[in-house]
Amino acid sequence: MLELTDVSAGYGQAKVVRDVTVHIGQGEMVALLGRNGMGKTTLLHAVFGLADRHAGNITLARHTVPSGRPDLLARWGATLMPEDRGVFPNLTITDNLRLANRKGFRPAVDPRELFPLLTDRRDQLAGTLSGGQKQQVGIARAILAGQSLIAIDELTQGLQPSLVRAVLEALRTITTTGVTVVVVDQHAALLLEYCPRTVVMQAGRAVFDGPGTPRSRLDELLALS
Ligand SMILES: Nc1ncnc2c1ncn2[C@@H]1O[C@H](COP(=O)(O)OP(=O)(O)OP(=O)(O)O)[C@@H](O)[C@H]1O
């Protein structure tokens, strides 16, 4: 559903991502790992039209993705969770969800079943939630919008492990309904528990792509600069 073929990308003349080929199927849950500055975010940005693509092809759900058109990605069903987690801070949780819900669309999994917070704090302004709580609202919005690919950068940043687990658990559940999930982080341990497939970036290249990675091999890849 998301296919990157020989993708090189960066910012202006700066080359960051080099010759990356990764094909991700519908309903997969993929961890994109790598140390600081290895190009994980830039790769996501290349997919979502936020970095400059220097070479290669990207297709999403059989659409050819042109460079520099982030608007098309949203229209074709892909969401990149931004740092503010894509919530309207001055609206309540309920209103955030209501606005996101595509007319007449009922997701296979009700996000309120995944995240009790959405009910317990329904009248709270989203801007007053913690980062992890906002992330839950952001993911719920993507689910209600019927998005078929959800990518999350820096999933664990600033979140307590129990919240990270709740989010990963929820993401795993939605993959069973056919939604594709790509999670980016530099902390491997938790993600590895939930993601059957791992792509490791090193100096802009995808140096490993596979399921069932032995932990020792991953430690080795993540330790190298
Ligand atoms: N806007 C930019 N202009 C020029 N270079 C950039 C820009 N953003 C990032 N870079 C460079 O691209 C390289 C890769 O950065 P990127 O953010 O993709 O790495 P990352 O693997 O996501 O790292 P981290 O885990 O620290 O976020 C770094 O050397 C960084 O300095």
Q: Whole domain around residue 63: which residue ranges?
A: 2-83+147-223
* Number of folded domains that form the chain: 1
Q: CB of 141 closer than 6 A to ligand 1?
A: no
- Is position 91 within any domain? no
Q: Is residue 6's pLDDT more than 90? A: yes
Question: 40-70 burial, b if ≥16 CB within 10 A, otherwise e?
Answer: bbbbbbbbbbbbbbbebebebeeeebeeeee
Ligand 1, closest atom to CA 201?
A: 21
Distance 37 CA to ligand 1 centre (A): 5
- Report which protein residue has its CA nearest ligand 1's atom 4: 11
- Is position 94 within any domain? no
- Is position 111 within any domain? no
Q: CB of 156 closer than 6 A to ligand 1?
A: no
- Is position 207 within any domain? yes
- Is position 13 within any domain? yes
Q: CB of 107 closer than 6 A to ligand 1?
A: no
Distance 14 CA to ligand 1 centre (A): 10
What ipTM was predicted for this assembly?
0.92
- To the nearest 10 degrees (0 to 180), the angle between helices 161-175 and 131-144 is 10
pLDDT, tens digit, for every residue of 69-81? 888 998 899 999 8
- Report which protein residue has its CA nearest ligand 1's atom 29: 37
pLDDT, tens digit, for every residue of 85-94? 789 999 999 9
pLDDT at 32: 94
- Is position 57 within any domain? yes
- Report which protein residue has its CA nearest ligand 1's atom 1: 11
Q: CB of 204 closer than 6 A to ligand 1?
A: no
Q: Is residue 176's pLDDT more than 80? A: yes
- Report which protein residue has its CA nearest ligand 1's atom 7: 11
- Is position 123 within any domain? no
pLDDT at 62: 87
- Is position 88 within any domain? no
Q: Can you say how many angstroms the Cα of residue 55 is from the centroid of all Cα atoms in its chain?
A: 22
Tell me the pairing of strands 2-11 and 205-211.
Answer: unpaired
Query: What average pLDDT does the segment 88-116 reach?
Result: 91
pLDDT, tens digit, for every residue of 115-143? 999 999 999 999 999 888 898 999 999 99
Find the largest Cα–Cα distance for the chain.
49
Helix intervals (H) in the chain: 40-47, 70-75, 93-100, 111-114, 117-120, 131-144, 161-175, 188-194, 215-223
- For the beta carbon of residue 75, count every other beta carbon within 10 angstroms: 10
- Report which protein residue has its CA nearest ligand 1's atom 15: 37
For the domain that residue 213 is a member of, what is the CATH number? 3.40.50.300
Query: What average pLDDT does the segment 99-112 reach?
Result: 89
Q: CB of 42 closer than 6 A to ligand 1?
A: yes
Query: What average pLDDT does the segment 183-193 reach?
Result: 84
CA–CA distance, 1 with 67 (Å, rounded to integer): 18
- Report which protein residue has its CA nearest ligand 1's atom 9: 42
What backbone phi and psi angles, to 5 degrees, belong to 53?
A: -90, 125
User: Residue 187: what residue type?
Assistant: H
pLDDT at 225: 39
Mutational test site, ligand 1, from 8, 42, 191, max ligand atoms within 8 Å of CB: 42
pLDDT at 212: 62
